Amino acid sequence: MQSFEKLLERNKQWSAHKKSQDPQFFQDLSKGQKPEFLWIGCSDSRVPGEIIVNAEPGEIFIHRNIANQVIPTDFNCLSVLQYAVNVLQVKHIIVCGHYNCGGVVAALNKQRSDLVITNKWLMHIKNTYRLHQEEIDAYDDEALRVNRLVELNIIEQVNALAHTSIIQESWYQHKMPTLHGWVYGLEDGLIDPLITLSASHEINPIFQYERIKG
């Protein structure tokens, strides 16, 4: 049996197991979704959002990319954000990165000539490093430098969410969602919270959207 065939077989086993536990499971699930959470995570195969928080299908709306970034010109991420906030009306948005992130490791090194597109994506992390270079370079250990930048990158992405018109409008109209920045440990499987921003958060004026008065 080839590797992809194993996935299909596992799918059959999973489906059968769910039906044995609850014969109506898939019928109920097919009626619609109302997740409470939007998860913006890293594409790393070791950090599947639903699994590490032991969630069921339908609980979490998920977007993943390299190094869990929220970039204002990434219409893929922004469309997911808009749908989650305006249509699904999620109550919480979680940006979850992880220690020893390959994207962060790459951002701390020279750009690779064979990864031209990826280099552009990682440029945002390089800029975060540049802003905190003195603090990060103070660590003698390479792993500590990487992991501190992992944390700073997560915090930066949560603030980037707060700087979007989507979040600011929802905060003004509905006082939600709450934004969370979490970091996952590959070595112990545990999540630690780093930052939480709510609708009462005071956004720097240069990132605020003016409200048009009719």
pLDDT at 212: 52
pLDDT average per 10 residues of sequence, the chain (214 residues): 95 97 96 97 97 97 98 97 98 98 97 95 97 97 97 98 97 97 98 98 95 56
Indicate whether 141 belongs to any domain.
no
With the CA atoms of 140, 146, 151 and 156 taken in that order, what torsion angle do they form, in degrees rounded to the nearest 10?
110
Print the domain residue range for 59. Answer: 34-103+151-204
Count of beta carbons in the 10 Å neighbourhood of residue 209: 13
Total count of domains within the chain: 1
Q: Per the structure block, which two tokens stand in for 136?
A: 């990060």
Task: Give the closest residue to 150 by CA, choosing from 189, 186, 176, 188.
Answer: 186
> Is 44 one of the annotated active-site residues of the chain?
yes
Indicate whether 74 belongs to any domain.
yes
pLDDT at 16: 98
Indicate whether 120 belongs to any domain.
no
- Point out the catalytic residue in the list 63, 77, 98, 148: 98
Indicate whether 77 belongs to any domain.
yes
> Is 140 one of the annotated active-site residues of the chain?
no
CATH number, domain at 94?
Answer: 3.40.1050.10
Indicate whether 43 belongs to any domain.
yes
> Is 112 one of the annotated active-site residues of the chain?
no
Indicate whether 109 belongs to any domain.
no
Indicate whether 157 belongs to any domain.
yes
- Point out the catalytic residue in the list 10, 17, 22, 46: 46
- Point out the catalytic residue in the list 42, 63, 77, 145: 42
> Is 46 one of the annotated active-site residues of the chain?
yes
pLDDT at 214: 43
> Is 42 one of the annotated active-site residues of the chain?
yes
Could you tell me the pTM of the whole model?
Answer: 0.95
Indicate whether 173 belongs to any domain.
yes
